[in-house]
Every structure is written in structure tokens, then in C-alpha cells.
Amino acid sequence: MTMENTRELIESGKAVLGIEFGSTRIKAVLIDREFKPVASGDFTWENSLDNGIWTYPMDEVLTGLRECYAALKKDVLTQYGVTLKNLAAIGISGMMHGYLAFDKEGKLLVPFRTWRNTITGEACAKLSEAFRFNVPQRWTVAHVYQAMLSKEPHVKDVDRVYTLAGYVHYLLTGERVAGVGEASGMFPIDPATNDYDAAMADKFLELAKEAGYPYDIRDLFPKVLSAGDPAGVLTEEGARLLDPSGDLEAGIPLCPPEGDAGTGMAATNSVRIRTGNVSAGTSVFSMVVLEKPLKSYYEEIDIVTTPVGAPVAMVHCNNCTSDLNAWVQLFKESLDLLGVPVRMDTLYETLYTNALHGAPDCGGVMAYNYVSGEAITGIPEGRPMLVRTQEADFSLANFMRAHLYSAFATLKLGNDILSREEQVTVDTLYGHGGIFRTKGVAQQFLADALHAPVSVMETAGEGGPWGMALLASYMVNKEDNESLPDFLSDKVFRDSVGSTLAPTEEGMRGFDEFAAKYKAGLKAERAAVETL
């Protein structure tokens, strides 16, 4: 579209907005009728460890929402000379899972407990056994049940429970709803009904009564909706919350709020059977849309859904780029001390590209990127650690390669189960997230790790907020009976451009050797947690 066409589109209120609450940024993306981003805004934030709980202050949730929208609005005005007043649709996304518990008056009872917490082990074990279904530590139902088992004082007052995306959606619309993909990170979903699994919900009610709290999950949790369903409209209060200046009009339709897993699937056209994607940021997770149920359940593999309810095998790891980013920042600080100016993008690209010259097995250098605990490997708390043998080739290339390998090492452990134990086949695997911005580095290492070709689209850097905007656009622009997979394939990604890298024999062999040493060395990581 031309600049003039885009200006007219925005003025006529036909642009679509997606907002995602990520781990380190709250970002807003505005798209046109060709699904291209035309403006954006963001707000940087960071979680904190408060009394052993990973959390974000709720006032920062509201501040960040307003600030990222204000930045988007300013971008629109700067680029197009238009004041943003109306929109065709809005979608809200956020980090999946977690625990936001409120009483009947709407008071937050305990600080927001994010997906990053690994404090629900007892609840997970009991729920997984009762359901015969893997319930991970970060799932909302695990937080609810653990609070019951721990006899936390606030539990008696709980009236409703949200995830972050569902709560922000409620503030904007007054509707207590969740997209099915988001809901699948709260409680198991029955693919036949696209709703909370009724038998498991009944079982949870029994367990809750035994714990002394007769809570039905169907009352506590939001109503489940699928992509394309209407999910309320922006209220006057919601419009003022988003845009205190008063320019934004009420009445804009919102689509069901979705988690970052669902937006990642939409952003990579990975909602069809036998497609998959890897989202890499503060955390890293892979998702493969299943053509048949798994034969068993595994602690390392979660079953979630696409935004329209198709079952997905998800391997979720709490740690990916945080430790890697900290090392790059340390190099930047060193260069600043030497008076050598360098842009962060340039530094990342230079260091990542140099990693290609490292040994396939990282030459005896080993890194553990555990800023927080990691349930898949049984590590309860974060202790980032760099280890090398005395004869290791401690070069910069091997150092960076080890940290890039570490970003995907835990992910590999879970995916090896899918390929070796369940013979799950993936036709297309897409990578997205900032780690893939340097072409041909993380993409190649991921292909070698998972023994599968990895594609990265030119839109890979757009990520979740763009995917959320696509889901909002689907709600208002889909044709009668047009499925989400068809909408994405035939309209959004019809002319998409990207690159595909296949694994190499040398790379696969090297990563396998690194992964074997990584797994064996977890004893040292556990010792670090116990002693440091």
C-alpha cells in the first residue's frame, strides 16, 4: 500500500491493532488490510524476584499498556500525520499461564505469579496423576491447586482467576473470556468441545473439596472462545485506560485474548496439522500440531492447542536468551570502557556470526543458561553457569557457540522424546524471535539440534504482537466458513519470503555430543543451586 492509502485506511478506522505483553517488552503493532505492519510502539519492562516469586507489579501492567499505545499513536502521527481514533479490531496477548487471583470486589489477592515460577511441584505431580495428563508447573491450575495445598490464607477469598492477557482483556471490555489456546495453558482442553475437559474439571472439584476449597474450575476461570469468535467491544472505561487523552473511540470489537504460543503459531503460519514452530526469547518453546494423540504423557511435553483448538505438543523451557543477552551486554560494557562505539545490533551480529567458526561440539566449553529454574531438567532455581575443561579450546567462537547451543539444549531434550518415542513427523518447522535476526546462525544451530529443516520468514522478527493482530484481523475479515489455516495460508502468507536451512551431518553430530555432556553436567548445575 502507498503512504496515502495507509493514511486513508487509518483515518477510516480500518487498521487492526495487536498488543502483546512479552517477558521484556509490551509491544503494539498496527497492520493494514494487506496484513503488513504500518506502525508500532513498545514499553520495556522486566520481571523481578520478590520473596522467591517471579512477578510484575500490576501498576506497571497498566502503565506499560498506556505507554506502548501512546508510542504507537505517536508513530502513527509522525509517519502519517493522523491522530489514531478508531480501529477495525483489537487483540490482546500475553505470556501464557501464571496466576492472577481476585476476590469478589476485584481486589488482587497476591502478587502476579508468572510462568517463570517453579513452585508448584507438589500440585503438578498430584494433578498429573489424577488426570493421567501432564500438568506443567507454570499452568494456572497448578498455581491454584498449590495455593490450596499450601493453605495460603488468600485462597478462601478467591472468586476469579485470570492469566495476564485475559485480565487486560477484561479491563478493556468487561468480558471474562479466553481464547482456547490461552485457556489450554490454564487447564486441559477437550478437543471435541473446545472447552475445559469436563471429566478433568469434575476430578479437580473432588480434589479441591478434599483440600477444603469447593471451587469449580469452570466458575473460577474465564469462558473459552475460539479464534474468529467475537469477544466483546472496547468500553468507555477501556478506551480511557488505553488512551487517557480521550482520542480513542469506544465500541471497537476485540477478538479472544490469546497467549504467546497462539500468536507465535499465527505469526509463523503453523496452525495446520504437521506444522510446527519454535519461539525463542526470554523462554523458548516448540509447538507441533499433532495428527494423532500421543501414546503416553510425558513431564517434558505439554498438550496445548492452536487458536482454533487443534491439539499441539509443546516443549516449553523457561530459559533461552537472558543469560546470552547478559554476556553480550558485558562485551558492550567492555567496548564502552575502551571508547569503542558500537551499536547493539552490530555487536550481536558480529558475535553470533563468529560462533559459526567454533567447533561443532563447542570445543569443551559448556554453558547453562538457567537464570530461573527449569522444570524439564529438574533444576529448581536459576544459577547461570559457564564451565570448561582444562584442555578446552576457550575461544570467542566456542564461547558464543556454547551459549547459543545452551539456548536450545533443553528444548532438544524434550523434542527428542517426540521424535524417538512418539515418531511425530513435522513437515515444516518455523523459527521466530530476536535470536534469528542474524541470518543463518541460530537457525542453523536449531536445525542441527532438532535434526530437522528450520525456516525463518522475513516477518520472523515481528513476532507475537503481529500474530495477535492477525488473529484480530481474522475475526473481522474472514469469509463465511473460512478456516484460520486457510486465512493464513491463502491471504497472509500467500507471497511470503523466507529461507530454509537443513541440518548438517557435522552439526547434528556436534550438537548431539554437546547435548550428552550438557545432560551429564546437570549434576554440577544442581550442586550450584544447593551451594551458591
Per-residue pLDDT of the chain (532 residues; tens, 9 = 90+): 789 999 999 999 999 999 999 988 999 999 999 999 999 999 999 999 888 899 999 999 999 999 999 999 999 999 999 999 999 999 999 998 899 999 999 999 999 999 888 899 999 999 999 999 999 999 999 999 999 999 999 999 999 999 999 999 999 999 999 999 999 999 999 999 999 999 999 999 999 999 999 999 999 999 999 999 999 999 999 999 999 999 999 999 999 999 988 998 998 899 999 899 998 888 898 999 999 889 888 988 999 999 999 999 999 899 999 999 999 999 999 999 999 999 999 999 999 999 999 999 999 999 999 999 998 899 999 999 999 999 999 999 999 999 999 999 999 999 999 998 999 988 878 998 889 989 999 999 999 999 999 999 876 556 789 999 999 999 999 999 999 999 999 999 988 878 899 999 999 999 999 999 999 999 999 999 999 9
Distances (CA, A) of 32 to 10, 37, 301, 395, 466: 8, 7, 37, 47, 11
Round to whole Å and give the CA distance between 364 and 359. 9
- Give the H/E segment covering residue 409: helix 396-420
Round to whole Å and give the CA distance between 120 and 332. 38
Helix, strand, coil content of the chain in percent (nearest 5): 40, 20, 40
Q: What are the cell numbers at 126?
A: 498430584
Q: How far is CA 521 from the centre of its chain?
A: 28
For residue 118, what pLDDT is reported? Answer: 85
Round to whole Å and give the CA distance between 43 and 40. 11
For residue 234, what pLDDT is reported? Answer: 98
Strands 189-190 and 195-196, bridge-based pairing: antiparallel
- Cell 521484556 -> residue: 24
Q: What are the cell numbers at 367?
A: 554453558
- 513 Cβ partners below 8 Å, 6+ apart? 360, 361
Distances (CA, A) of 187 to 150, 310, 349, 502, 508: 20, 15, 40, 36, 36
Round to whole Å and give the CA distance between 422 and 116. 28
- ∠ CA 267-271-275 to the nearest 5 degrees? 100
CB neighbour class for 365 (10 Å; exposed up to 12, middle 13-18, buried from 19)? buried
- ∠ CA 62-64-65 to the nearest 5 degrees? 65
Q: Rg of the Cα trace of the chain? A: 23
Nearest Cα residue to 17 out of 239, 272, 182: 239
**What domains does the chain contain, in order, with CATH numbers?**
1-96+163-181+227-267 (3.30.420.40), 97-162+187-220 (3.30.420.40), 269-459+502-532 (3.30.420.40)
For residue 527, what pLDDT is reported? Answer: 97
Round to whole Å and give the CA distance between 257 and 229. 11
For residue 461, what pLDDT is reported? Answer: 55
Give me the sheet containing 284-289, strands edge to edge: 302-305, 311-317, 284-289, 275-280, 428-432, 454-457, 498-501
Q: Please count the residues of the chain.
A: 532
- Cell 535470536 -> residue: 435
Instruction: Assess contact for 71 and 28: CB atoms under 8 A.
Output: yes
For residue 462, what pLDDT is reported? Answer: 60
Q: Strand, coil or helix: what is 45?
A: coil
**Could you say which DSSP state residue 167 is in?**
H
- Cell 575461544 -> residue: 395
- 75 Cβ partners below 8 Å, 6+ apart? 39, 40, 41
Q: What are the cell numbers at 256?
A: 479472544
Distances (CA, A) of 87 to 30, 121, 252, 352, 463: 9, 43, 6, 40, 21
User: How many other β-carbons are positioned within 10 Å of the β-carbon of residue 296?
Assistant: 11
Q: Facing residues of 17 across strands?
A: 30, 90
- 33 Cβ partners below 8 Å, 6+ apart? 1, 9, 14, 477
Sign of the C-alpha dihedral computed for residues 60, 61, 62 and 66 taken in this order: positive
**Could you say which DSSP state residue 222 is in?**
P
- ∠ CA 514-442-116 to the nearest 5 degrees? 80
Helix axes 140-149, 198-211, angle to 10 degrees: 20
For residue 460, what pLDDT is reported? Answer: 53
Nearest Cα residue to 22 out of 239, 279, 305, 403: 279
For residue 66, what pLDDT is reported? Answer: 97
User: Residue 115: what are its φ and ψ, rounded to 5°?
Assistant: -60, -20
Sign of the C-alpha dihedral computed for residues 84, 85, 91 and 94 taken in this order: positive
For residue 459, what pLDDT is reported? Answer: 63
Nearest Cα residue to 93 out of 41, 166, 20: 20
